[in-house]
A and B are shown apart, each in its own frame.
Chain A
């Protein structure tokens, strides 16, 4: 046991205590802010939410995969309607495969299957593929806006914007 004693009066003791706590608090706050900063990535992979998909008459009837790898969008054209579908499975978010021979989408993760129009018919998927907003610009080209989605089970597929009449 050392016998050294600091000669501190009450006021000095509390000022040391205050300085100590403020320093400690500042250090913790600084570290916490670093951790908080770390939660936000330096680089974000965010493709633009809308893109121009060309004229509707450039597409054949049926499913078109040309935007799938870039924007994650399938174009589906049937008699009278032109729609843009999300390529995210509604079960757990995998990317289904388009099987032209079987005329269906099939998810590789748990086997959910969808008709070409996006309606789910097999496997565990609880609802159809979501559709994106489509509109025509002044040149007659389709603008697909992925920030606005239309869900079948909410009866939104007949809303204006969910499809283009062709």
Chain B
């Protein structure tokens, strides 16, 4: 059993499983947004995580870094808030489908109160409670002091703070300029841009799912699959040398994984055409350049075919194509991950001469 889990938790399988689970969640959202499912999910997660802690190796790895404690909280909180918003949304959707109004629009829920003192007092107590919680936590879980910094030595594994482990996991698949600068920048710009691109007035002031299905699905995919799950991988499944370790696997720094990463140019010129790499950089990288350009040139019209009719008119040209660009940039991450897992791809376009690697 534990061996099987160690095997299927490898990123290539577990990521696929999470993507499938995500699609199932969107598809069977009616079943998921019920109290029965919510309670069974909570019970199942608690039992599963509790069972993980009965294993000595898992416990040892887990408590080796105190960062892991908040991530267990995070997992529960993320699952709960996701389930809760779906639950409320589907509740309202069913009311609207039956010809009613959302729960929040009922007369008894429309009563207004002053933000001072009602809201401000609540916030004050929340701040105090949080502060007490953090102080108690800081006393209970002592931060481990390490040796003085040494520029010629790095801890192994060298892990970022837990909330950045998703980014660190991204960096495994990309050049640092992309995963360290461009993609995080796009994440921030994209999140800032969402309110300006989203012109759907539905769901204003009430929970809903079906009236905002596309928006919620895209956002949740980026959040749950591409961010939270990558944090979980980076936290629990990466050991020394950033190699994959199953949850029940001992962190042996000498675990050997044969990984010889190959660029598209080498696949194209050496393996396919059986000749050496050409001298000219553009000729050398031609296959990768065609693939990259093709991704946008073929992909965007294809995307338009599925979603264009509905959203192009509603959002307008500029908003729509900005959204398409953001979605396509987001999808480069899973695409690059799968290329790495399937054909050991290193870079699609590889121009170290100009520090330009995709």
Instruction: List residues of chain A with CB under 8 Å of any chain B CB.
Output: 45, 68-72, 87, 91-92, 94-97, 99, 101-102, 106-111, 113, 121-124, 126-127, 153-154
Contact = CB atoms under 8 A, between A and B. Distances in A.
Interface string B174-191: 111001100000000000
Given A108-B158, A122-B261, A92 B171 contact: yes
A110 B259 contact: no
A109 B169 CA distance: 10
Given A92-B171, A97-B156, 14 more contacts: A71-B152, A92-B176, A94-B158, A95-B151, A99-B253, A101-B254, A109-B154, A110-B172, A110-B242, A111-B243, A122-B261, A124-B174, A124-B175, A153-B352
Interface in B305-358: 346-347, 350, 352-353, 355, 357
A108 B259 contact: no
B119 interface: no
A102 B256 CA distance: 7
B158 A123 contact: no
Nearest to A93: B176
Q: Nearest 5 A-B pairs (CB), nearest first? A: A111-B242, A108-B156, A153-B352, A122-B259, A95-B154
A109 B242 CA distance: 6
Nearest to A70: B152
Contacts of A106: 241
A111 B352 contact: no
A68 B242 contact: no
Contacts of A87: 152
A91 B240 contact: no
Contacts of B254: 99, 101-102
Nearest to B346: A124
B100 interface: no
Contacts of B155: 108
A150 to B, nearest CB: 14
Interface of B is mostly: loop
5 contacts: A97-B156, A108-B155, A109-B154, A109-B157, A154-B353
Most interface-central of A45, A68, A71, A108 (chain B CB within 10 A): A108
B175 A126 contact: yes
B153 interface: yes
A68 B256 CA distance: 24
A123 B261 contact: yes
Contacts of B355: 126
B114 to A, nearest CB: 35
B352 A127 contact: yes
Contacts of A45: 151
Contacts of A101: 254
B173 interface: yes
A160 B238 CA distance: 42
B265 interface: no
A111 B151 contact: no
A21 B313 CA distance: 57
B279 to A, nearest CB: 11
A9 to B, nearest CB: 51
Nearest to A45: B151
Contact of A113 (B150, B153, B259, B350): B259
B91 interface: no
Contact of A110 (B153, B156, B171, B357): B171
A69 B152 contact: yes
Nearest to B150: A69
B54 interface: no
